[in-house]
Chain A
């Protein structure tokens, strides 16, 4: 067996800042964010891509940070919950979660919010979902059924789903 190096340098742009990390290849993006960059907003729930608590945006698209190897994210732009607000102003989806009480214990909330930010963008692009009647239709209307389907990769053990749907719906309509 060839003798391979077990660590590499990786450059990431995280919430707008360039970061250079020298990491064991086994380090997931989630662990790189939490343990190496002290960005503990992204949460480790199941660590197997099943609960969505680790959801971040990678080059603008939502992904489970627990299943991404950090070394494989060379050059990518990562946005976490800490990067959504601008100059002390909350992102409209963050504000909507507060206004509509879209959480109880709050552990899944950073993942829920990052996921919801991406859902709004995906709907804006007219991307269909499993509950869209005609996948060829150009436009998507984010009704409650669409929001539930599109947010199904984010589990909430407190069961705050009703208010999460209300919050995402409010953010989609442009009002918090």
Chain B
């Protein structure tokens, strides 16, 4: 690990000013991903700005029955919170399906959104990687890519975003609150993650030094049912090879509202808007769910060794929506 300075700012404004002033400074929250990447030589900050002591860990109800999750709330804090468990169980399910009890106690909400891909070539500095070193090439395209992207990837990068939480947040139309020297702004999670294109090194729509202060989750629609389901290669403590977060409202035998986000398929949590549009105002059935999933996955561009993800995600969408709407698979 390279040497680095360490400071503990008194408040968010000082944290932001300090980080803006040093292009090679990084915020330290829980550090479960950053410290690991520093050990691997992938991250080499000159300065760590430790924000863990700032009062940004509150989880509270908003006036419009939504939820405001402070950026420093740990995965555990959120998953076990009574407001979350009762009103936004999808978030608890997603968080509890990820990592281990030890890591969930340490990792924070803001860091969860900003965590980097677990692509083995990104984390191995002896291998070419366009995300880590723009222009170096991508070793994953022809290499070990069983768990890489099938949607939205480019010829420059085929890595996936590893978060479970972000997939659930995408289905709930969450927004991200950000502080900069110019003030506070919020942006939709769908605008937060950038398309890969030819700049895989630019993952999120934040300037250097901008600080995530909270995640805002609007109230789910009335009578909505929701579920997070995750498939992985062992029963626990593994990243998804496919996941789905779904929120659905059925009234009088018709789907009135449906939101579907899928994970482990793209560089960002993938909102399945084509599938959603196809299900608007139709009667729930396994056949209609399968047709909608097929419409979304018609755009999949699998690699040599991850074609399995297409039927996996299709079946996951169908099974989850069948469960939520009470129709047979």
Chain B 6-43: CB-based contact to A (< 8 A → 1; otherwise 0)? 11100000000000011010001001100110010000
> Judging by beta carbons under 8 Å apart, are A2 and B5 in contact?
yes
Chain A 105-148: CB-based contact to B (< 8 A → 1; otherwise 0)? 00000000001001100100101111010011000000000001
A99 CB–B CB distance under 8 Å: no
A71 CB–B CB distance under 8 Å: yes
> Judging by beta carbons under 8 Å apart, are B96 and A128 in contact?
yes
**Chain A residues, Cβ within 8 Å of B276:** none
B205 CB–A CB distance under 8 Å: no
Comparing B59-67, B79-87, B173-181, B192-200, the segment that makes contact with chain A is B79-87
A100 CB–B CB distance under 8 Å: no
- Give Cα A115–Cα B5 distance, bound, in whole angstroms: 32
> Judging by beta carbons under 8 Å apart, are A152 and B237 in contact?
yes
- Give Cα A52–Cα B47 distance, bound, in whole angstroms: 28
> Judging by beta carbons under 8 Å apart, are B80 and A63 in contact?
no
Chain A 136-176: CB-based contact to B (< 8 A → 1; otherwise 0)? 10000000000011101110000000000000000000000
B48 CB–A CB distance under 8 Å: yes
Chain B interface, number of residues (Cβ within 8 angstroms): 41
Chain A interface, number of residues (Cβ within 8 angstroms): 44
**Chain A residues, Cβ within 8 Å of B89:** 135-136
- Give Cα A4–Cα B22 distance, bound, in whole angstroms: 11
A43 CB–B CB distance under 8 Å: no
**Chain B residues, Cβ within 8 Å of A64:** 32, 102-103, 106
- Give Cα A25–Cα B26 distance, bound, in whole angstroms: 14
| Nearest residue, chain B, Cβ from A118 | B101
CB of B118, distance to nearest CB on chain A (Å): 11
> Judging by beta carbons under 8 Å apart, are B106 and A63 in contact?
yes
> Judging by beta carbons under 8 Å apart, are A128 and B101 in contact?
no
> Judging by beta carbons under 8 Å apart, are A25 and B106 in contact?
no
- Give Cα A122–Cα B89 distance, bound, in whole angstroms: 18
- Knowing A152-B236, A152-B237, the reply to whether A115 touches B28 (Cβ < 8 A) is no
B97 CB–A CB distance under 8 Å: yes
B3 CB–A CB distance under 8 Å: yes
From B4, B36, B102, name the one whose CB has the most chain A CB atoms within 10 angstroms.
B102
> Judging by beta carbons under 8 Å apart, are A67 and B32 in contact?
yes
> Judging by beta carbons under 8 Å apart, are A127 and B76 in contact?
yes
- Give Cα A135–Cα B76 distance, bound, in whole angstroms: 13
**Chain B residues, Cβ within 8 Å of A28:** 35
- Give Cα A136–Cα B85 distance, bound, in whole angstroms: 5
- Give Cα A58–Cα B52 distance, bound, in whole angstroms: 14
- Give Cα A125–Cα B79 distance, bound, in whole angstroms: 13
Contacting residues of chain A (68-110) with chain B, CB-CB under 8 angstroms: 68-69, 71-72, 74
Among the listed B48, B86, B106, which residue makes an inter-chain contact with A68, where contact means beta carbons less than 8 Å apart?
B106
Among the listed A25, A74, A122, A130, which residue makes an inter-chain contact with B48, where contact means beta carbons less than 8 Å apart?
A25
B100 CB–A CB distance under 8 Å: yes
- Give Cα A52–Cα B85 distance, bound, in whole angstroms: 27
**Chain A residues, Cβ within 8 Å of B237:** 152-153
| Nearest residue, chain B, Cβ from A51 | B100
CB of B27, distance to nearest CB on chain A (Å): 12
**Chain A residues, Cβ within 8 Å of B31:** 67-69, 72
**Chain A residues, Cβ within 8 Å of B50:** 72
> Judging by beta carbons under 8 Å apart, are B47 and A68 in contact?
no
A49 CB–B CB distance under 8 Å: yes
**Chain B residues, Cβ within 8 Å of A69:** 6, 28, 31, 35, 48
- Give Cα A63–Cα B107 distance, bound, in whole angstroms: 10
> Judging by beta carbons under 8 Å apart, are B76 and A67 in contact?
no
Among the listed A25, A49, A118, which residue makes an inter-chain contact with B103, where contact means beta carbons less than 8 Å apart?
A49
**Chain A residues, Cβ within 8 Å of B80:** 125, 127-128
**Chain B residues, Cβ within 8 Å of A11:** none
B254 CB–A CB distance under 8 Å: no
Among the listed A4, A48, A122, A132, which residue makes an inter-chain contact with B101, where contact means beta carbons less than 8 Å apart?
A122
CB of A75, distance to nearest CB on chain B (Å): 9
**Chain B residues, Cβ within 8 Å of A13:** none
> Judging by beta carbons under 8 Å apart, are B96 and A52 in contact?
no
Among the listed A118, A128, A148, A153, which residue makes an inter-chain contact with B99, where contact means beta carbons less than 8 Å apart?
A153
Among the listed B39, B79, B96, B103, which residue makes an inter-chain contact with A153, where contact means beta carbons less than 8 Å apart?
B103
**Chain B residues, Cβ within 8 Å of A6:** 3-5
- Give Cα A132–Cα B6 distance, bound, in whole angstroms: 40
Task: Kindly list 6 other residue pairs between chains A and B, CB separation below 8 angstroms, not including A5-B5, A6-B5, A152-B235.
Answer: A8-B6, A49-B102, A62-B102, A67-B35, A129-B96, A130-B96
Could you write out 12 A-B pairs with CB less than 8 Å apart? A5-B5, A8-B6, A55-B102, A62-B105, A63-B106, A67-B31, A72-B52, A127-B76, A128-B96, A148-B236, A152-B235, A154-B100
